[in-house]
Chains A and B, each alone.
Chain A
C-alpha cells in the first residue's frame, strides 16, 4: 500500500485530471468548470460516464513513475513465555502486537499480514533454521528438517494499532507486511532471557530450542555416561 497504493493513487488522480481536461475540450468549457464524481464527469448540465467519455473521445491514458516513498512504521511487541527449566522447553503463552501502519486502507489485509508475520516471527524465534555441516553441506533439505510453527504452536494473539499517517504518501499508508517478523523475535527472546534470569539476552541465539534454553541456564547437572 505504501508504494503500489501510492502509484495507484497518483495514476487514478492523473486519470481523473485527464478525464476532466477531455470533458472540458469535448464541451468547450474551461477545465475548472468540469467536476468528477464516482465515475462521472460533469460540465454544467451535461454529464458522461467515463465509458461514454472514452467511446466519444478515445482512450484515456496517464503514466506515472513513483519512487518508493520513505515511511517510518513503528510498534511495540510484548511476549509472555513459560520455560520449563528441566528440559528447557520454551512456550509462548501470549503475544501482544501493537503496530502503526499509518492510514489503513483495508483492515482485512493488514490484520491478515499481522497474523502471518507474527507466525513467521515465532518461527524464527523458536524453530526455523537452515543448517550446514562443517563441509558446508546443507543439513536442512526439506520441511521435515526445517521446522515451521503449525496451528498448534500459535499462542493467543492480541493485536492493537495506532494510526500515524505517513506524511510522504497521499494515502498516508505505511508498509504492513513484515511487522511481526521484526517485532516478535526480540520480544520472545527478551522474555525467555527474563524467565531464565539471564542478564544478557544476546547469550541466547535463535532459534531458541529446548537445548539452547537448557544450555543457557547452565544449572542442570548432566548425567555421566557409563557406556
Chain B
C-alpha cells in the first residue's frame, strides 16, 4: 500500500509542466490524484516521475465565453455542484456531478483528470462525447485539439500521448428551452456506475428539435447514442417515443462488455430503461422552465 519510488516535480507554469512531462518517459501528471494515487499505492502504476500541476495558476478556473464553457485542468468536480452561469449545460453538469464518487473525492478530483484517466464507468467522458467537447492536448510541439468523440479509444486508453497534457476542455452551451436529465444505476452509494445515461432534450412546438444522449459504461468507451438521437429528432414528443428511443439506444448504440453480476441482455434492458428515464427527467426539466 505504498507507492514504488518516484521523482516528484512540482511545476509552476504550463510550459514547465509540458517540459517536465516530456523530459522523462513514463512521467505522469498529478492533479487531484483520486485515481492515480490509488494505482500508485497498489503499484499497478509505477511512474518514474510525477508532475504535480496543482501550483500552476493558469490551470485554475473555468469561464463561459462565446457560448462555450472552458474548463481548465485544476477545476475540481465539486465546482460543478455550485450554480454555474451556463444554462442547461450547467444544470446537466450539476446533475451529473452528484453521481461522481462522494464529497471528499469531488473536492479533490478534477474533470480533466477523469477525462484523461478514461475509466469506462466514469461520468465525465460520456458527457464530453455526447455534448461535443473539444479537448486541448499540449505537448512539446504545441497544442492540438481533439474532439472528445475521437479522444477515447478504449478502457483507460485515449489518444493522448505520454508527453501531452490535457490543458482545456470546451463544452458548447445548449440551446434555450433545453431540458436535461441524468440517471445512474449502481449497487451502493459508494459503487461505480453499472450504467448511467445523460440526456438533453430541446422541444419546439411539441416536436423533438434536438436531443443528446450519453451512455456511461455501455461499451468499452463512452458512447454517444447517435442512433437513438436520430430516431427521436423531428418526432412528435410522446412518452412512448422516449421509451422507444431507449430501445434504439440499447440495440444500436450500446455495445456492453462482460461485467460481474450481470449479462448482456440485462445490460441492454437496463440501458433502454435508463435512457427512457433520463429523457423523461429532461422533459420535466424543460417543462419546469
Which A residues are closer than 8 A to B by beta carbons? 86-87, 89, 127, 131, 139, 142, 144-145, 147-150, 152-153, 209-212, 214-215, 220-227
Docked pose: A87 CA to B273 CA in angstroms: 8
> Size band of the B side of the interface?
20 to 34
> Interface on B for A, CB 8 Å cutoff?
42, 185, 187-192, 194, 247, 250-252, 255, 260-266, 268-273
8 Å CB contact of A87 from B185, B264, B265: B185
Knowing that A153-B189, A212-B261, A223-B271 touch, tell me 6 more A-B residue pairs with CB under 8 angstroms.
Answer: A147-B187, A148-B188, A150-B189, A210-B194, A223-B272, A225-B251
Verify A87–B270 contact, CB threshold 8 A. yes
A224 and B189 contact, CB distance less than 8 A: no
Complex Cα–Cα for A145 and B261 (A): 11
Minimum CB–CB distance for B110 against chain A, Å: 20
* B188 and A149 form a contact (CB under 8 A): yes
With CB as the reference atom, state the residue of chain B lying closest to A220: B269
Determine the chain A residues whose CB is within 8 A of the CB of B252 once the complex forms.
Answer: 226-227
B residues near A220, Cβ cutoff 8 Å: 269
SS class, residues of chain A in contact with chain B: loop
Most chain-B CB neighbours within 10 Å: which of A147, A148, A152, A211?
A211
Total A-B residue contacts, Cβ distance less than 8 Å: 63
**B252 and chain A: residue at smallest CB distance:** A226
Roughly how many angstroms separate A152 CA and B188 CA in the complex, as a whole number? 8
Complex CA gap A214/B185 in Å reads 14
| Alpha-carbon gap, A54 to B152, bound state (A) | 79
Identity of the chain B residue whose Cβ is nearest the Cβ of A145 in the assembled complex: B260
CB closest chain-A residue, reference B246: A223
In the bound complex, residues from chain A placing their C-beta under 8 Å from that of B264 are 225
Given contacts A139-B260, A211-B261, A214-B269, A224 and B251 within 8 Å (CB-CB): yes
Q: How far is the CA of A152 from the CA of B42 in the complex (A)?
A: 27
**Known contacts A127-B188, A153-B188: does B265 contact A223 (CB below 8 Å)?**
yes
Q: Give the complex CA separation of A227 and B256 in angstroms.
A: 10
Complexed CA–CA distance, A87 and B195 (Å): 11
* A136 shortest CB reach to chain B, Å: 16
CB distance from A86 to the nearest CB of B (A): 5
> When the two chains form their complex, are residues A210 and B187 in contact, meaning their CB atoms are under 8 A apart?
yes
The chain B residue sitting closest to A141, CB to CB, is: B42
